[in-house]
Structure 1
């Protein structure tokens, strides 16, 4: 891959962080699907050099279920000073196992229950695990649909830890911030412990590329809470048969976050606070 830096329509802040991507290396034990979803550290590193995104938060990928070995390996290969991980575990994990993940760079747990048919964890474990990792200052990362956010609102409200809402809350693209779940997202943001990931435009659209409906949602959320949004590319885009252009996705930052201050917050300052970068 060409590692030459590209000319972006904005100045990327120093220490800019992509807070949502997956490393999928079929060399690690998996469910058989990793070979068709490959996204290695080496491939992503070339994009980092091209797009000037020196920090990354790797999110455990579904082919590896509860085995976080690939995730931990990615953090080490990328460089632990500039990488963090979001693991996937259930409540049977030992305290020692949680400490080992923390020492390996993990700073949160993901509950991807948007599609119950392929979920590898149960949301029932979220609250108990949040109590067990509270002393580690981890976040609970929630990938669920808008209706699920409303359904489990009372449980989410009671989480006494950092909370991250994946992919803009998967609001109904036809409704955007008029979705009934959006006031709850605003409520959580106002509590002061919740961040929203501006990511996955192709997961939040009915119109398709260039994802104008998803952009309206992203802009509205960023304007509502500039101190509580972060940005991610969702590399290697496992949900998409036709992969989006990485440069195009990165260029969209200029539209989603149109001021230098907004980009400094979402790409550098907010990830530092949320994930504990030094």
Structure 2
């Protein structure tokens, strides 16, 4: 009998098994019990922590990073609740805050498992933050050992190269840094991010291939392989993988999450490096324990 998974096409499991302690370092929880920011049309149904557990069982990941979605604004209650529901020992979060956030609130978020803040400015008109907030907030969260996570367009990255160079904390670029295909390696933003990675503090999330792929699922997202491999080749110790579940940018046809997980095998053919991407790197970035067992998901 075929099993249906919320916000995910297909029902098969990935061709390759996830190693013990594997982390999905980029996903979102949407929950109508919590405050909304902007249009409720941006809500995603069947995207609660309970729904995500089914996806975990399908792809075999045990650790998770919950990224605050735009629709919930700066009320990070939904993400803190998801961390508790999915298990604080194996779940971390990335919040969205404004510069007026108090030190006490940052401390509360840290205690709840938050380890970074996100600036989703790819579409500024719908954003909960803006570019003027990036540097002052980066200064504050650096003291907590947090990172800033950036979902920016390639043009925005290139235009704000000086700002990025001034940031004191670790930087994490979402979704392969959103470089346009098929000419990602020749875009000015590739050089900007590459220079930042030379300093040892800049990471890439291998996620969201459908966001910029021109060949799409039918072509196996093959046009994303060159840029993904370039990021891995530059610094294999500073890349992580994420599902981007529940795929909020794809309301009509949801991607096949087993295929997305298997795509990592194309991006990172070497098994030892792939283990690093799934287990060791997220443990370092998010502060998970270095060792794990296969029973982590059974609490």
Q: Look up the match of 2:294.
A: none
CA distance in 2, matches of 1:6, 1:54: 18
Instruction: Assess if the C-alpha contact under 8 Å between 2:29 and 2:82 holds in 1.
Output: yes
Please tell me whether residue 163 in structure 1 is matched to residue 171 in structure 2. Answer: yes
Per-residue deviation at 1:159? 1.0
Per-residue deviation at 1:228? 1.1
Per-residue deviation at 1:13? 2.0
Q: Which has the higher contact order (CA 8 A, sep 6+)?
A: 2
Instruction: Assess if the C-alpha contact under 8 Å between 2:13 and 2:258 holds in 1.
Output: no
Instruction: Assess if the C-alpha contact under 8 Å between 2:29 and 2:69 holds in 1.
Output: yes
Q: Look up the match of 2:293.
A: none
Per-residue deviation at 1:271? 0.5
1:177 to 165, 182, 185: 185
Per-residue deviation at 1:202? 0.7
The CA deviation string for residues 251-276 of structure 1, in whole angstroms up to 9 with x for no partner, is 11111111111111111111111111
The CA deviation string for residues 169-214 of structure 1, in whole angstroms up to 9 with x for no partner, is 1101131222111111111111000100011001121222221112
1:130 aligned counterpart, secondary structure = helix
Q: Look up the match of 2:23.
A: 17
CA distance in 1, matches of 2:237, 2:194: 13
Instruction: Assess if the C-alpha contact under 8 Å between 1:6 and 1:51 holds in 2.
Output: no
CA distance in 2, matches of 1:108, 1:19: 12
Per-residue deviation at 1:50? 2.1
Please tell me whether residue 233 in structure 1 is matched to residue 243 in structure 2. Answer: yes
Q: Look up the match of 1:27.
A: 33
2:115 aligned counterpart, secondary structure = strand
Give the RMSD, CA atoms, in angstroms: 1.6
Question: TM-score of the superposition, structure 2-length normalised?
Answer: 0.88
The CA deviation string for residues 219-238 of structure 1, in whole angstroms up to 9 with x for no partner, is 22112221111110100001
The CA deviation string for residues 28-70 of structure 1, in whole angstroms up to 9 with x for no partner, is 1214235444411111111112221000000001111111110
CA distance in 1, matches of 2:68, 2:164: 21
1:153 to 161, 164, 179: 161
Please tell me whether residue 271 in structure 1 is matched to residue 282 in structure 2. Answer: yes
Instruction: Assess if the C-alpha contact under 8 Å between 2:158 and 2:189 holds in 1.
Output: yes
Structure 2: any 5+ residue segments left out of the alignment?
Answer: 6-10, 290-299
Q: Look up the match of 2:78.
A: 70
CA distance in 2, matches of 1:172, 1:59: 23
Question: TM-score of the superposition, structure 1-length normalised?
Answer: 0.95
Instruction: Assess if the C-alpha contact under 8 Å between 2:42 and 2:71 holds in 1.
Output: yes
Structure 1: any 5+ residue segments left out of the alignment?
Answer: none
Equivalent residues in 2 for 1:26-105, closer than 5 Å = 26-31=32-37, 32-33=40-41, 35-105=43-113
Per-residue deviation at 1:2? 6.2
Instruction: Assess if the C-alpha contact under 8 Å between 2:36 and 2:73 holds in 1.
Output: yes
1:191 aligned counterpart, secondary structure = coil
Instruction: Assess if the C-alpha contact under 8 Å between 1:62 and 1:120 holds in 2.
Output: yes
Please tell me whether residue 108 in structure 1 is matched to residue 116 in structure 2. Answer: yes
1:194 to 198, 202, 205: 202
